[in-house]
Amino acid sequence: MKTIEHWINGSPTAGTSPETAPVFNPATGQEQARVALASAADVDTAVTAATAAFESWSESSLTQRTQVMFAFRQLLVKHEEELGRIISAEHGKTVDDARGEITRGREVVEFACGLGDVLKGSFSDQVSRGVDVHNFRQPLGVVAGITPFNFPAMVPLWMHPIAIATGNTFILKPSERDPSAANFVAELYKRAGLPDGVFNVVHGGKEAVDAILTHSGVEAVSFVGSTPIARYVHETATSHGKRVQALGGAKNHAVVLPDADLEFAANHITAGAYGSAGERCMAVSVAVAVGAAADGLVEILERKAGEVKVGPGDVPGIEMGPLVTKASQERVENAVGTAATQGATVVVDGRGLKIDGHESGFFTGPSLLDHVTTEMDAYKEELFGPVLAVVRVDTLDEAIGVINANPYGNGTALFTGSGEAARRFQRNVKVGMIGVNVPVPVPMSYYSFGGWKDSLIGDSPIHGPEGIRFYTRPKVVTTRWPQPKQQVAAGFNFPTSS
Q: Which residues contact 322 (CB under 8 A, 6 or more apart)?
A: 26, 27, 92, 277, 312, 313, 329, 358, 361, 362, 363, 364
CB 289 within 8 A of CB 391: yes
Query: Which one is catalytic: 50, 192, 266, 281?
Result: 281
Pairing state between β 252-256 and 284-290: parallel
CB 160 within 8 A of CB 66: no
Nearest to 478, CA basis, from 162, 125, 236: 125
> In whole angstroms, what is the distance from residue 95 CA to residue 85 CA?
6
CA distance 188 to 497: 52
Q: Please, what's the b/e burial string for 152-180 (b: 16 or more CB within 10 A of its CB; e: otherwise)?
A: bbbbbbbbbbbbbbbbbbbbbbbbbbbbb
* Longest distance between any two alpha carbons in the chain, whole Å: 90
Would residue 281 show up in a list of annotated catalytic residues for this protein? Answer: yes
Residue 351 — φ and ψ, nearest 5°?
-70, 150
Question: What Cα–Cα distance (Å) separates residue 336 from each residue in 249, 253, 282, 321, 366?
Answer: 20, 18, 20, 18, 10
Phi and psi at 170, nearest 5°, equal -135, 140
Residues 168 and 11: their CA atoms lie apart, in Å, by 19
Helix (H, G, I), strand (E, B) or coil at 57: helix
Tally the residues of the chain: 498
Q: Rounded CA gap, 203 and 230, in Å?
A: 19
Q: Are 77 and 83 a contacting pair, CB within 8 Å? A: no
Amino acid type, 493: N
Mind telling me the catalytic residues?
281
